[in-house]
């Protein structure tokens, strides 16, 4: 989850800075809109302009054309982290000398930063996965419901009777022999709006799917195999680290958004707390945050491998 905030050098602790830096550097957050919410809601504007906007010259031209704007609201789901960290884990590490005095002298700065770095990497992988793939609280995943980008897009296409842009088959995306035919089937139903303005239109896929596509090019010329700017049908391929490898999305990623709470402390709060006062020889890594996914327009194509 990302948030656009300006922090002075000393305005937050180093642990919070580590968390914030990791949040804002994830690939998804670099590609989609980052929207500050109000309480538990954030919104994205969907705007359109009709035809016949330009008219013949007149000294006092009459009004012509039409415009529409819709403010679409999405929910922010709040989350918490409370990870126990027994000090006994440190007895055979470089931090072993600090254990005896850790309650009196506090947790060494370097140690608390390493704790936060470790949990941040894991937490952000889960967050990015939920933002794309949804979460229904099943299978031991965090409670609450995140409607991810893929579900939001498919719901919009279904509501607009554009089911032809939702593709599925029992054809895995990670098999090199399959991938070009899958991508070709997506290009075959791409909305005219994306063909008329292909700028910023991309295939979003998992690293495993991108690898399959790269392998599929091995018999082709080196000019086609430029992995620094990999394309299909003229559309750039973007790798999303935690996107489900069963799914591919084609569209403009700036029509997706991640909403975060309005209060910065709800976003960047992650600290290491000594638990001596609770009669425990441990620290707890504690934090609260929240995020939600949003999508606008119907200019999308999705593919899902439905293999059991």
Q: What confidence score (pLDDT) does residue 303 get? A: 97
Three-state SS sequence of the chain: CCCCCCCCCCCCCHHHHHHHHHHHHCHHHHHCEEEECECCEEEEEEEEECCCCCCCCCCCCCCCCCEEEEEEEEECEEEEEEEEEEHHHHCCCCCHHHCCCHHHHCCCHHHHHHHHHHHHHHHHHHHHHHHHHCECCCCCCCCCCECCHHHHHHHHHHHCCCHHHEEEECCCCCCHHHHHHHHHHHHCCCCHHHHHCCCCEEEEECHHHHHHHHHHCCCCCCCCCCHHHCEECCEEEEECCCCCCCEEEEEEHHHEEEEECCCHHHHHCEEEEECHHHCCCEEEEEEEEEEEEEECCCCEEEEEECCC
**Which of 73, 78, 110 lies closest to 94 in space, CA to CA?**
110
Q: What confidence score (pLDDT) does residue 36 get? A: 73
CB burial class (10 A; 0-12, 13-18, 19+) of residue 175? middle
Distance CA 73, CA 90 (A): 46
CA angle 149, 159, 147 (to 5 degrees): 25
Cα torsion 197, 153, 249, 71: sign: positive
Cα torsion 58, 60, 61, 62: sign: negative
Q: What confidence score (pLDDT) does residue 206 get? A: 94
Q: What confidence score (pLDDT) does residue 18 get? A: 53
Cβ atoms of 203 and 235 closer than 8 Å:
yes
pLDDT-flagged residues of the chain (< 50): 1-14, 137-143, 265
CA 292 centroid distance within chain: 9
Domains of the chain: 14-47+68-146+257-292 (3.30.2400), 149-256+297-305 (3.30.1930)
Q: What confidence score (pLDDT) does residue 6 get? A: 30
* Residues ≥6 apart with Cβ < 8 Å to 9: none
Q: What confidence score (pLDDT) does residue 32 get? A: 84
Model pLDDT for residues 126-146, shown as the tens digit of each residue: 778 888 887 654 444 444 566
- Which two three-digit tokens encode residue 245? 């490898």
């Amino acid at each position: 989850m990302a948030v656009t905030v300006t922090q002075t050098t000393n305005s937050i602790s180093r642990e919070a800075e580590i968390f914030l830096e990791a949040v804002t550097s994830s690939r998804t957050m670099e590609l989609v809109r980052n929207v500050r919410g109000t309480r538990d809601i954030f919104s994205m504007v969907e705007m359109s302009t009709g035809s016949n906007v330009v008219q013949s010259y007149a000294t006092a031209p009459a009004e012509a054309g039409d415009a529409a704007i819709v403010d679409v609201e999405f929910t922010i789901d709040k989350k918490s982290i409370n990870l126990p960290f027994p000090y006994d884990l440190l007895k055979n590490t470089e931090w072993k000398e600090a254990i005896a005095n850790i309650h009196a002298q506090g947790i060494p700065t370097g140690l608390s930063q390493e704790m936060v770095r470790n949990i941040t990497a894991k937490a952000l992988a889960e967050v990015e996965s939920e933002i794309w793939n949804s979460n229904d609280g099943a299978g031991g995943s965090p409670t609450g419901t995140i409607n991810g980008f893929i579900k939001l897009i498919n719901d919009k296409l279904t509501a607009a009777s554009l089911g032809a842009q939702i593709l599925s088959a029992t054809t895995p995306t990670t098999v090199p022999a399959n991938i070009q035919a899958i991508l070709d089937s997506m290009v075959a139903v791409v909305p005219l709006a994306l063909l008329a303005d292909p700028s910023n239109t991309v295939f979003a896929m998992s690293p495993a799917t991108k690898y399959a596509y790269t392998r599929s090019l091995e018999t082709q010329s080196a000019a086609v195999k430029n992995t620094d700017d990999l394309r299909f049908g003229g559309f750039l391929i973007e790798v999303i680290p935690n996107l489900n490898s069963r799914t591919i999305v084609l569209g403009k990623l700036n029509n997706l958004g991640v909403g975060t709470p309005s209060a910065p402390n709800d976003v960047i709060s992650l600290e290491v707390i000594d638990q001596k006062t609770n009669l425990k020889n441990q620290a707890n890594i504690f934090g609260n945050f929240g995020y939600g996914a949003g999508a606008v327009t119907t200019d999308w194509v999705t593919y899902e491998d439905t293999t059991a």
